[in-house]
Amino acid sequence: MADSENLENTYYDMVPSDLRTTTTKHNRAEKAGGAVVALTFDDGPGANTAALLSILEREAVPATFFLIGEHAARHPELVKAICARGHQVENHTWSHPHLPTLTPGQIRDEIAKADDAIMRGGAPRPQFVRPPYGEYDSRVVAALANSGKGGVMWTIDSEDWTMQANERTIERATSAQPGFVILLHDFVPQTITAVPEIIRRLRNRGFSFATVGDLVACNPSVCSGSMIFSQSDCGRQN
C-alpha cells in the first residue's frame, strides 16, 4: 500500500483521466475545510447503486464503496460509473464470507478475486479491504498485510441493514464526530431515501465529506499498513 501521506494523490492519479469528474475535484477540495466524515457504502453494486450515485452527484458528495466481487463481476458498468463520478472503490471480498473461518489461502483468494473483478470494471486496484460482518482476527490482518492492503472498519454503524425506520438510520449516521467513518449499505432501499437528509444534517453541523483515502491522507496516523478502523479505537492493530 502507498504511504498514507501519498494516498490521496496516488488514488487520484490511478483514475483514468477520462473518468475524472468535477466531483473528484470537489472531493479533494472539500475535505480541507475543517470537520470531515466519510460516507461508506457496502455490498454493492446492485439495483440501488445508480440512484445513489445520482444523489451523491447532485449533492457533490464523495463516498467510498466497498464492493463485493461477485456483484462487481455482474455489474462492471456500475463499477465504472462509481469510479467515473470520483468515488473511491474498495474491496469487500469476493463472496462476503466469515473470514476468520477460512484458511489463509482462502482469505487471500477472496481478496484477489474481488480485486480482479473490480479492476475489470475499470477501477484502480483496491488499497483497502473491509472484512464482512466486521469480523477479523490475526490471520485476517496478516492476509491483508501480505496483500499490501489496509483494513477499514467504521466508527458508526447506521444499522440500516436491520431495515429499521429511516429516522433511526438518519439519527445514528448524523451522530458522527470529526474523522468518523459511517457505515451504510446501498442494497437497502430506505438508505437511498435517507442519504439526502443525512447529508443535509451533517452539513448543518458544519461537516464536509471525504473518501476513506482522503481521510487517511488528512490523518496519516489513522491507517498505515494493516491498521484497522474499529468502533472503539480508530487505528487499532491486531
Domain with residue 132: its CATH number is 3.20.20.370
Q: Which domain holds residue 87?
A: 4-16+27-218
Inside any domain, residue 228? no
Inside any domain, residue 234? no
For residue 78, count CB atoms less than 10 angstroms from its CB and return exposed for 0-12, middle for 13-18, buried for 19 or more: buried
CA 218 → CA 24, 51, 133, 183, distances in Å? Answer: 16, 29, 27, 20
59, 63, 68, 71 alpha-carbon torsion, rounded to 10°: 30
Which residue is listed with cell 479492476?
A: 119
Q: Give the active site residues.
A: 42, 185
Pairing verdict, β 36-42 and 208-209: parallel
Inside any domain, residue 125? yes
User: Residue 205: its pLDDT value, please?
Assistant: 96
Inside any domain, residue 22? no
Instruction: Give the predicted TM-score (pTM) of the model.
Output: 0.82
Inside any domain, residue 126? yes
The count of structural domains within the chain is 1
Inside any domain, residue 208? yes
**Segment 9-46, tens digit of pLDDT:** 333 343 344 433 333 444 443 444 469 999 999 999 99
Inside any domain, residue 227? no
Among 150, 153, 202, 151, CA closest to 178: 202
**Segment 196-225, tens digit of pLDDT:** 999 999 999 999 999 998 887 766 554 433
